[in-house]
Amino acid sequence: MHNLEEKSNRLFSYKSANNRMKDWEGIERKDSFHKSESNEMKGLGRKDHNMEHYDNKYDERVEIGLFTLDELRGFSVGKKLPIFFPIRDHSLYPPFLPKEVLDAIPFSSSQVSNILHLFSVSPDSPKGNIVQGTLQKCELEAADGWTRLCVTSLESLYSFLREVFGLEVDFKFLSTKHPTMTTPIFQNYTVLETPREIESPKKVACHRMPYLYAVYFCHFDAIGTRTFKLQLVGDITGDEVDALVVCHMDTSRWSSDHAVFRMFGMKHGDALCHVFFQGSLVWINQPSAIVVSDA
């Protein structure tokens, strides 16, 4: 432990990852479609005249960007989708640390006491609980057909992508973009064009995890996913959103008690599509093709 503390002194020359975390409750509230905030936005939005044409067949699952494949097929130009797009507060998420610093810091739930001590975080605090939760999720066993890893450095991210795509394949990432949006609001979004499928032999999804420094949960589903680009414009704000929608074509390996099956009334194994919100990445082969698809 003494050796860890000695080497970790370099970490705090990067303006202290501990200070950059700020308010971890804020991370949960601002970076996810958390019920407390999204319900508040939903209530505000429904009072607006824009929501007079709200399609009652859509419920809370659409607000957080969950769709069936059949619904995706129906997203023709002019279609109204009531969605809440959260905005990532980048100041709440530390960047990747240099590998030489990370080499001195354990990343294991068995070492959580040492990790929290190193960053002066109380185990019983909200920060401590989130650190423990992220470590536990990163250590869950992968489902059949899945390859997964929590990457903690640019080097480990590159290594994981090379393992999936191969040594001779170039790749790039895509993400949901809404560059003009400054205030998240629940509103109707109008579909600007038919969903276009991103054709790539392999795809890797990476989700930013709340932690003491940059951690991405990355996974590759060998059995099959489909990814679509969906262009939208907000009816109230006029903000354009270039959204990624990822469809899991076979959910039979998911738990039969998964909440989405109850939300949809769908059968175990049916295809499920969801919007990738800001901060999550989809890595694809380069070059790749984006084509109009009948889904």
**In this predicted structure, what is the pLDDT of residue 50?**
38
pLDDT computed for residue 158 by the predictor: 95
Q: How confident is the model at residue 290 (pLDDT cuts 50, 70, 90)?
A: low
Distances in whole angstroms, Cα of residue 25 to Cα of each of 35, 91, 120: 13, 13, 17
Q: Does residue 120 surpass a pLDDT of 90? A: yes
Using DSSP's 3-state secondary structure scheme, residue 232 falls into: strand
Higher model confidence: residue 94 or residue 128? Answer: 128
- Type and span of the H or E element at 243: strand 240-248
Supply the pLDDT for residue 54: 39
* Per-residue model confidence (pLDDT) at position 294: 56
Q: Residue 37: pLDDT above 70?
A: no
Given a cut of 80, is residue 225 above it in pLDDT?
A: yes
Tell me the β-bridge partners of 172.
Answer: 284
Given a cut of 50, whether residue 6 has pLDDT beyond it is: no
Going by pLDDT thresholds of 50, 70 and 90, the confidence category of residue 46 is very low
For 5-15, give one letter per residue: b (16+ CB within 10 A) or e.
eeeeeebeeee
Average of pLDDT values for 181-209?
A: 92
Q: What is the mean pLDDT of residues 92-114?
A: 90
Angle at CA of residue 77, ends 71 and 78, nearest 5°: 95
Q: Give the Cα separation of 189 and 50 in Å (integer).
A: 10
Asked if residue 242 lies in contact with residue 229, where contact means CB atoms within 8 angstroms, the answer is yes
For 232-244, give one letter per residue: b (16+ CB within 10 A) or e.
Answer: bebbebebbbebb
More confident residue, 289 or 19: 289
pLDDT number for residue 51: 39
Task: Check residues 153 and 225 and name the one with the higher pLDDT.
Answer: 153
pLDDT confidence tier of residue 45, bands split at 50, 70 and 90: very low
DSSP 8-state secondary structure symbol assigned to residue 48? S
**At which residue do the structure tokens 């414009």 appear?**
233
Range from 145-149, 232-236, 268-272 carrying the lowest mean pLDDT: 268-272
- 68, 109, 152, 157 from 96: Cα distances, Å: 35, 20, 7, 11
User: What is the model's pLDDT at position 68?
Assistant: 83
